[in-house]
Amino acid sequence: MKYTIMVNEGPYQHQSADTALQFTRAALEKGHEIFRVFFYHDGVNNGTRLSVPPADDRLIQKSWSELAEKHGLDLVICIAAAQRRGLMDADEAKRQGLDANNIAPGFRISGLGQLVEGGIQSDRLVVFGD
Amino acid sequence: MSTKNFLFVNRKAPYGTVYALEALEVVLISAAFEQNVSLAFIDDGVYQITKGQNSKATGMKNFSPTFRALGDYDITKLYVSIESLAERGLTVDDLMELTYEDADDDYAEKPSIILVNREEMAAMMTEQEVILSF
């Protein structure tokens, strides 16, 4: 089956960020296709590369990047939600005249249309949130 | 691109968290994809479409006027939970008058709000293909 995953909560703050990652991993292991993973609300914070959790904690953002590299996942961060919360790629930082960027490998920033398209193109859209 | 039945379920109060505001942003984008879009308002989500909202003191933007524009985007089905209204001491008179112009009926102005009980809400949900819950 073809899935689009929506992640609406931030890493370490809310269980649903972990569950989304675990669901996506399990779906891939079962041979399903992940059309896209879309990050919205505080979920955009799953795409920062500047997270440094304590050494005995899990690495949520890094796990997404690794999963993306292994399976060619399309990890999309909503631009409107990202701009509010300070998630930037190099192009956007330059455009906004900012001195830094923080997007993790494997993620890209794009618009909400990517989420709607995911709903249209996939057999199931699964929302992970509060 | 194919047309699907999209339902946006609004469960949270309009202010206090950003869920309602950002949900409405998705709704507006979905209109551009010419999908069959419906909205549901349950739990504290019914407060999103109450009239006379004034969020000034909170510092958050009062985005409730945007709901009035939905009819122009061909989003004309707003299902509101009767039980959720009653549990909060609200009636339909506390809600904004949200309408659309029916192109198939000489552009007559018709109400977008459809009051439904839980059973009817559940039946409506079974007809949906993509459900986004906020």
- Answer yes or no: are the C-beta atoms of B117 and B83 closer than 8 Å: yes
Helical residues (DSSP H) of chain A, grouped into ranges: 15-29, 60-71, 79-85, 90-95, 113-121
Residues of B with a Cβ under 8 Å from any A Cβ are 1-2, 4, 6, 18-19, 22, 25-26, 29-30, 32-33, 35, 130-134
Domain count, chain A: 1
Tell me what pLDDT residue B58 has. 92
* DSSP-derived 3-state class of residue A11: coil
Chain A residues near residue B131 by CB distance under 8 angstroms: 125, 127
Q: Cα Rg for chain A, rounded, in angstroms? A: 14
Per the CB < 8 Å rule, is B1 touching A120? yes
Examine the pLDDT at B1 and tell me if it is beyond 80.
no
Nearest to A119 among B4, B19, B133 (CB): B4
- Chosen from A39, A120, A124, A130 to mutate, greatest number of chain B CBs within 10 A: A120
The predicted model gives A22-29 an average pLDDT of: 98
Examine the pLDDT at B15 and tell me if it is beyond 80.
yes
- The chain-wide mean pLDDT, for chain B, equals 96
How far apart, in whole angstroms, are the C-alpha atoms of residue B2 and residue A47? Answer: 30
How far apart, in whole angstroms, are the C-alpha atoms of residue A77 and residue A98? Answer: 18
Examine the pLDDT at B51 and tell me if it is beyond 80.
yes
Tell me what pLDDT residue B101 has. 95
The predicted model gives A70-77 an average pLDDT of: 98
Tell me what pLDDT residue B2 has. 85
- Could you give the C-alpha distances from B89 to A30, A97, B39, B47, B78, in angstroms and in order? 48, 49, 22, 11, 20
Percent of chain A at pLDDT above 70? 100
- Using alpha carbons, select from B109, B128, B15 the residue that is nearest to residue B62: B15
- Could you give the C-alpha distances from B59 to A33, B62, B126, in angstroms and in order? 43, 9, 38
Percent of chain B at pLDDT above 90? 98
How far apart, in whole angstroms, are the C-alpha atoms of residue B98 and residue B15? Answer: 20
DSSP A40-51: -GGGGGGGBS--
Examine the pLDDT at A59 and tell me if it is beyond 90.
yes
- Answer yes or no: are the C-beta atoms of A58 and A66 closer than 8 Å: no
For residue B129, give both structure tokens. 């293909």
Tell me what pLDDT residue A22 has. 98
* Domain range list for chain B: 5-133
Check whether domain B5-133 has CATH 3.40.1260.10, yes or no: yes
Confidence band, pLDDT 50/70/90 cuts, at residue A23: very high
How far apart, in whole angstroms, are the C-alpha atoms of residue A87 and residue A42? Answer: 10
The predicted model gives A30-59 an average pLDDT of: 97
Tell me what pLDDT residue B64 has. 97
Whichever domain contains A11, its CATH number is 3.40.1260.10
Is residue A78 annotated as a catalytic residue, yes or no? yes
pLDDT tens per residue, range B81-101: 999 999 999 999 999 999 999
A120–B contact, CB cutoff 8 A: yes
How far apart, in whole angstroms, are the C-alpha atoms of residue B64 and residue B51? Answer: 8
- B108/chain A closest Cα distance in angstroms: 30
- Using alpha carbons, select from A39, A46, A119, A48 the residue that is nearest to residue A80: A39
- Answer yes or no: are the C-beta atoms of B33 and B1 closer than 8 Å: yes
| SS3 per residue for B45-100 | HHHHHECCCCCHHHCCCCCCHHHHCHHHHCCCEEEEEHHHHHHCCCCHHHECCCEE
pLDDT tens per residue, range A8-18: 999 999 999 99
The predicted model gives B55-64 an average pLDDT of: 94
For B49-62, letters b (16+ CB in 10 Å) and e give bbeebeeeeeeeee
Q: Which domain holds residue A20?
A: 2-128
Q: Give this complex's ipTM.
A: 0.93
Tell me what pLDDT residue A72 has. 97
- A6/chain B closest Cα distance in angstroms: 9
The predicted model gives B19-27 an average pLDDT of: 97
